[in-house]
Amino acid sequence: MTSESVQSLIDQLEAEAAMDRPVEATPEIGIIMGSDSDLDVMAGSESGRPGAFDVLTEELGFEEQTDYETAPEARFTFETFVVSAHRTPELMYTYAETAEDRGLDVIIAGAGGKSADLPNMTASIAYPLPVIGVPVQEKSLPSVIGMPQGAPIVAVDAGKSFNAALSAVQILARQHPELQERLLAYHEGLQQGVGEVSRDLHERGTPGFRDT
């Protein structure tokens, strides 16, 4: 039996899939996770490692879309849902099945525990839409990457939703030169940072660099 709250989400997704919306008004990236306890990994933690939300909004100019009928001003957007493969399989199935019709181009799916089935099940249902799996913990890695031949999924290392978001934008950049320019600018910033640190270390020497 499906709960009222889950059924309302299923109805919402199905209604969105039936809408005739221009691609500019729908999110390009879908971010899903098995539990809200995964949010610090999938979005990024204020006191820990940055995540997908951080790189998309702070580095690449995306906005989070929370209302399907009223798109943000940004040209490129993403959405975020909690979708449990084990507790809400109907919601998982509907999310994956409607993803393309709702305008998504790529899904980032994260799950923890030893039975981290959300990414690979989503990849199977949403095929051929690309899915990037994020093992939330080290013990989740074998489950996420353990797809049989003919059932592909792309996956990043445990906890690295930041890299998953970069990979998702790389996929989108093949059709959107503006995103390619943003990726190149981000990478140039990384190079600049390394160069500045290298020069500072060399000119100050190791003791002086450590003291700063």
**Is 35 labelled as part of a ligand binding site?**
yes
- What is the side-by-side strand order in the sheet with 77-82? 63-64, 77-82, 29-33, 106-111, 131-135, 154-155
What does the alpha-carbon distance between residue 54 and residue 146 come to, in Å, rounded to a whole number? 28
**Is 182 labelled as part of a ligand binding site?**
no
Cα 170 to its chain centre, rounded Å, is 12
Residues near 92 by Cβ (< 8 Å), separated by ≥ 6? Answer: 83, 84, 85, 118, 121, 122, 125
**Is 87 labelled as part of a ligand binding site?**
yes
109's tokens? 């799916």
Query: Residue ranges for the binding site?
Result: 35, 38, 87
Query: Residue ranges for the binding site for substrate?
Result: 35, 38, 87
